[in-house]
Amino acid sequence: MVKFLVTNDDSYASPGLFLLYRVASSIGEALVFSTESPRSVIGHTITFSRPLRIYPMSVGGVKMYLTDGTPVDVIHLALNVLGYKPDFVLSGINIGENLTLQHIFYSGTIAAAIESAVVGIPAVAFSADVESFDQVSTPEMENIAMSYLRAIVENVVKQGFPPGVDLLSVNIPNPRNFRNCVRVVKASKVRWYSSYDSRRDPLGRPYYWLYMKKLEAEPDTDVYAVEIEGCISVTPLTINLNVSTPLLSGFRKLLELKT
């Protein structure tokens, strides 16, 4: 029987975690291991500076483990402390989309999937274009999870990943915009342009508040598929950040020191 590790970065309180558990447990064995509090937008953080704890518990009839660490910590604690060796890691369903490479680098949800791929376990990260737990706890989202997301996971289990693919980033449109379609597309590079609003506190000292300006969606990308077409986007990713051999050779020549 195929074994899944199900995790997220929104904590054990997220209904998205339980939806993903239902998907996984309908296909094989599933162990839920989450964070005890939300750890969104922390990227690939791993804990070195303090000890970590693990708490076994049951929520809504689902036995799970919690940690006071990060989503990346979860992967290593599951493997090395619990001794659980999954065939696949499923991360999500995240509250909020993780479209573009910009968000991929920030996301705790995708960080867990990347860390899984680093240690040789294929992974799929799921995110939804919603803003609250309530927007995940709907019949529409349940239908998307148990039909489309389940089909994606089943396909991955049966077919595996093509050579060069280490993980998938799956983004789900808001259910009210979903048009019953799936697109396999690349990730856009940037989703938001960062800017700062300059203000002053009651003592007259300046401070700066980050806000974002959304960029226009490019065709044949994850943003376009989700926002314009209303489709689930599936983006294959690789953890290999090395440049191609020709580019590497070019840099060797460029950096040669002549004496």
Domains assigned to the chain: 3-187+217-254 (3.40.1210.10)
pLDDT in tens, 104-158: 999 999 999 999 999 999 999 999 999 888 888 899 999 999 999 999 999 999 9
Dihedral angle over CA of 105, 110, 115, 118, nearest 10: -80
C-alpha separations of 253 from 142, 245, 258 in Å: 55, 13, 11
Residue (of 32, 27, 44) closest to 82 by Cα position: 32
Tens digit of each residue's pLDDT (9 = 90 or more) over 19-56 = 999 999 999 999 999 998 667 776 778 888 999 999 99
Contact 238, 189 (CB under 8 A): no
Model pLDDT, residue 257: 52
Bridge partners of residue 90, in order along the sequence? 6, 124
Q: Which stretch of DSSP H or E encloses residue 54?
A: strand 54-59
